[in-house]
Structure 1
């Protein structure tokens, strides 16, 4: 019984080490989203941080600031959604589909 426990603890430690490595890798990976046919582009990393926002001049209409705000909001939310999906997919590969609360 003690041998099984030691083996299980090694597996848990390896999984923890793999997760730490994966978290670091995901911080360097990015996803990109755009809105308004590409006039607003947002890049997010695997830590759900926005790392770039690009707004083309034709998206800036002083008469319609609300549209630009909506485009930025849409692109940001989509980039964050894609980032979460990327993390979930990669974590699923690592954990074999087990949902482990509190990991992300």
Structure 2
């Protein structure tokens, strides 16, 4: 049991580093705005289609940016959950799957 705990701890540390280095992309407005976040959900960059800027639709731009960021962050949470399940697979801990499904919500 102690060895399993150590393996999970090492797996979690590696997973955190991998999430820090992974990038997920969220989009809004059919790709007019793209947001890139880390696997931890930290915003890395925003790209706005030049035509959208040229059109000068400030309200639309302000609406699409948070949508793209939220989309990227949601994808980061999904990635985090998938990786967490991978790290803890094989552990026979009652209720662990249920607890992990609630993680990050």
**Shared fold per TM-score greater than 0.5:** yes
| Aligned residue number for residue 67 of structure 2 | 74
Give the root-mean-square deviation of aligned CA atoms: 2.0
Give the total of aligned pairs: 95
1:3-82 mapped onto 2 (5 Å cutoff): 8-60=1-53, 61-62=55-56, 64-82=57-75
Provide, for residues 26-80 of structure 1, a one-character-per-residue CA deviation record: whole Å limited to 9, x for no partner: 1111111111122211111111111111112211243x31111111111000000
Runs of 4+ in 1 over 2 A off after TM superposition: 96-100
Q: Which has the larger radius of gyration?
A: 1
Q: Secondary structure at the match of 2:4?
A: helix
The TM-score with structure 2 as length reference comes to 0.80
Q: Secondary structure at the match of 1:82?
A: helix
The TM-score with structure 1 as length reference comes to 0.81
